[in-house]
């Protein structure tokens, strides 16, 4: 199922260009156009769901998250470490309302502890 006015649905359909990292029957992964880390890849389900709380079938949701490890391996950060983030709705800064997983890595991350900076 596709939503006609959704940016990510258009990317999945090939109507808007992207730099593909991975694709299978369920998900599409591509490079973020405004990366926050050396590695910043987005993974989206091919079916449209507004957010992670939108009743995504368990198999599809599990596949979406399991793909994070595949993407991290492709991008060469699986062993060094990576972070996955899912923003849900406006107050959590979800800018595109099609559920998506951010895979971030490629350099050490600060956990907020100033002694580790």
Place of tokens 């649905």: 9
In the residue annotation, 97 being an active-site residue is answered as no
Neighbour count for residue 32 (Cβ, 10 Å): 17
Structure tokens at 32: 């973020």
**Whole-angstrom Cα distance, residue 81 to residue 78?**
6
Catalytic site residue from 48, 97, 98, 100: 100
- As annotated, the active-site residues are 100
């Amino acid at each position: 199922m596709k939503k006609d006015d959704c940016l990510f649905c258009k990317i999945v359909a090939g109507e808007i260009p992207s730099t593909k990292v991975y694709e299978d029957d369920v998900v599409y992964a591509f490079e973020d156009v405004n990366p926050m880390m050396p590695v910043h890849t987005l993974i989206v389900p091919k079916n449209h769901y507004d957010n992670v709380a939108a009743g995504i079938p368990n198999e599809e949701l599990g596949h979406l998250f399991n793909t994070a490890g595949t993407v991290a391996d492709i991008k060469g950060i699986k062993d060094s470490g990576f972070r996955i983030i899912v923003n849900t709705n406006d107050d959590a800064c979800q800018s595109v309302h099609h559920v998506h997983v951010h895979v971030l890595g490629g350099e050490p991350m600060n956990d907020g502890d100033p002694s580790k900076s």
